[in-house]
Each structure stands twice: as structure tokens, then as C-alpha cells.
Chain A
Amino acid sequence: MEERQVGTFNVKAGLAEMLKGGVIMDVTTPEQAVIAEKAGAVSVMALERVPADIRAAGGVARMADPHIIKSIQQSVSIPVMAKVRIGHFVEAQVLEALEVDYIDESEVLTPADEQYHIDKWTFKIPFVCGARDLGEALRRIAEGAAMLRTKGEPGTGNVVEAVRHLRAVNAQVRQLVNTPDNELPDLAKELRAPLEIVRKVKELGRLPVVNFSAGGIASPADAALMMQLGADGIFVGSGVFKSKNPEAFARAIVRATLHYNDPKVIAEVSENIGEAMPGIEMATLTQADRMQDRGI
């Protein structure tokens, strides 16, 4: 029977599977998108501003102008992602109409709904969502997310939160896998996640969807660190285009991600690539500055 089934979970999660081991880069212009593609990025995130600039600008951050997204789609052949505000399902409808390849329901933008995330099952376009721990991750999967990224703290150039979140998720997965079956219902309650998904994690021994690392990755060594800690791939937000030499940085981060277990290659790619983006120490952020606490 020759019949096409589109928008199935298999097809949605499948694209994320194809991105494994790769780097997804934030870009704000077609020129930046071309630099990212030439450097070997597996996908680009089309934005109006990178997180560091969103942080600096303050105010309400929204979905990008469709013109920016379209011009980036026309400039590259790799998949194009774009961000919507948490809970803003109309922004998501707009991105679906634009046929972006993945929608990021992202804490980098100002949340539109403080209680509900988007019901992602109602869309044919797949979604990626952020998480700081296993409970958040499984709740997003329950809402239909086909890909995850640990949140980190976007736009800081400081990898410490990315490390914290990935370690937390992995430690909790290990704990879940070693929990006896008859204690899983209680664990599900504790995680505030559906039992069925909790059981699935135990059965697989890992998260049921791909999990990238995001939020603060600013150097080739940062990218390799997250890969060695078990990330499936890397999101680089401000780290490339806020560095002094974006071409060199983009290329170096891609190579460090691919050869993450080879310190010689990481040393080689880190040489003479200019200064990384300026970083922010976590203690200097106020509660309101912390993007990771949005949409949990």
C-alpha cells in the first residue's frame, strides 16, 4: 500500500536522530546561516537576536520576523529551526505555516503562558524543548516534544549551568533505570511525569528522544565537555557570532564536537581562533535574569 503518513512521532523524532553528533547554530541573517552551513553545522536556528543581545535589550522577546526566517530558509539546504514563546501556540502555527523544520519552544523568549506549554501533539512540525532535570524533560515529552535540550543559562557564555543540567538529567535517568518496577508509580509522581513515559525510560535505559546540550557553550572545549558528559549534540547560541572570529569559531566548535574524545584535535582546533564571547558570572544574575527558570 503506497501511502504517505506525515507528521508521525517517528518522523518528528527521526529528524532529531539525524542531527546527532552535530552542532546547531543560532543565526540572525542569511550571511550568518551560510557561514554556519559552510562550517559544518547540521542545522541553524533562525532568530532576530542571539540570546546575549536579547539579554542586553531587555523587554519582551518574541518570535522572529517571518521575513528573517524565510530569507534564512532560502540561503541554506540544512534544516532551519525557529523559536516561539513558551505556550504561544499561535506563534507555532505561524512557524508551521512557514514550514520551518523544527520549532524550539524556548525560555530564551519571554513566556506567553505561565501554566501551559504548547500541546505539541496537534502540530505536524516537530518541537524541541528545554529541561533542567528529568521531570521537566519527561513532562515536555508528554506534551509531544520530539527532541530535548538541557537548558543551561542562555546568552552567558558560561557553561556551568549546562553542565549542571546535563549531569542532573543523566543522574536521574540512571536512578530511574535502577528503580524496581513496583516503585515506578511513586517515582513518576515525584517527577510529575506520566508513568507510561517513566516506564519507557526504564525499558530503553535512556531518554526516548534525542537530548542536546544548550545554554552557555562558548568554546570548542565547552562543546567537547558536553559531548563527553553524554550530550547527543550541541546548540551554540551566542557563542559563535558573539566571538571575535565567527568563521573560525564555528569550524572549531564543529570539529571539537565530532572529535570530542580526542584532546589533540581539540587543542589543534582551539589554536588562534581569537577571543570567545564575553562571559557572565552566574552570581551577578538576578532572579529575573535567569531564563532557565521559565517554563518548568
Chain B
Amino acid sequence: MAVNIGVLAIQGDVREHKNHLAQVGANPVEVRTLEDLSQVQGLIIPGGESTTIAMLMAEEGLIDQIQRRVWDEQFPVYGTCAGLILLSKDVIGSSPARLGLMDIVANRNAYGRQLASFETSLRIPALGDGPDFPAVFIRAPQIVRYGPEVIPLATFEGQVVMAEQGSLLTSAFHPEMSGDVRIHGYFVDKVRKILQV
């Protein structure tokens, strides 16, 4: 069964996430309103500028409704880069309004300005025995602390850069910027498991 996976379409890398989702057999849906949100069984929050995305999510009432669905029905959410900041319980320094659902503390732009943006390859055991994953970090945040319920999935230079907690998944890097769709596949599998389909 094809599941409807939403991509929060306020700003940022929306098209690429939709392409990746389609490639792993999910039905991608752009989410801008509460009505859109009610049509999907999981949601990706793409990279972009967290302040802008958060402001407009709050205006549309999306923050409250996503929180409610996560608490009530284990709604799966995957936040990348800006999405990681929106998922984290605490943020160092000035912080936008956010979902605050994951027991992590994020540091915005932790690697520095654009000059320090980089790509690398990561060992992600949860994806199985395949090759390393090509990861792109753009003005990326870091997870500086995480609680006992958070499971680290990948590290870079000793820092956790991908993690999950219950129905929530997060990464500091952009999995949609390479041709590798394994992380999208992992998320869609997670949605299927939760829905038991």
C-alpha cells in the first residue's frame, strides 16, 4: 500500500524530498495547511531557514496539530537540518518557535557560516551493509546533548548527526541532496511499521 507522506512546503528543499519519496514508493504530498496535514500518515520537515519555517508553521496552526498527532497517534516526523532545530526540545542561543518533541539540545549553525558547509560520507548501520551515505551539511546544526530515549544512528567527528526517538527521526545533514534514497526508504518503513501496513 502506498502511504501518503507529507513534505512541509513552506520553504526550502521541498521538490527534492518529494522526488526521493516517490522513488521509495510513497505518495508525496505538499503540506501547507491543516487540511493538507490531515491527508498524510507521516511528515518530512525539510531544510531551509528555521526562523522562517517556524513562523509560518505557527501562523497556520501546524505546530499545535503536529504535536497533538505525535502525542495521540505516534505520528512519524522526520526533520532534516532546520527540521532538526524545529524538533528539538531546547536550542542554544536565539531560538524560533518549534515543535520541541525530541529530547535533544540543538546548536544552530554549529559548524559556522557557509564557508564551513561541507560534504562527507557517513557510516549508518541502521541502513544495513551498503556503502557509506553521502551526507551534505549546509550551515548545519549539531545535537549537543540527548536524552536516554534518543537512539543515535550516525556520528561525525564524535558528534551525533542522525537520531531517532519513537516515531521521530532527525538528521543534521540533507539526505535529499544526493541520489541515495535509503534514508527516505528507512523513514517510509518506519511509517509502515507504525501503521502496521
Contact = CB atoms under 8 A, between A and B. Distances in A.
Interface in B108-139: 108-109, 112-121, 132, 136, 138-139
A169 interface: no
B152 to A, nearest CB: 15
B52 A17 contact: no
Interface string B163-177: 000000000001001
B11 A21 contact: yes
A104 interface: no
A21 B117 contact: no
A17 B94 CA distance: 24
Interface string A256-289: 0011000000000000000000000000000000
Contacts of A37: 51
B51 A125 contact: no
Contacts, number: 117
Contacts of A102: 114
A190 to B, nearest CB: 29
B132 A42 contact: no
A2 interface: yes
Classify chain B's interface size.
35 or more
B108 A21 contact: no
Contacts of A78: 49, 51-52
Chain A interface secondary structure, helix, strand, loop or mixed?
Answer: loop
A89 B174 CA distance: 31
B114 A5 contact: no
Interface string A36-48: 0100111100000
Nearest to A6: B118
A254 interface: yes
Contact of A10 (B10, B32, B94, B177): B177
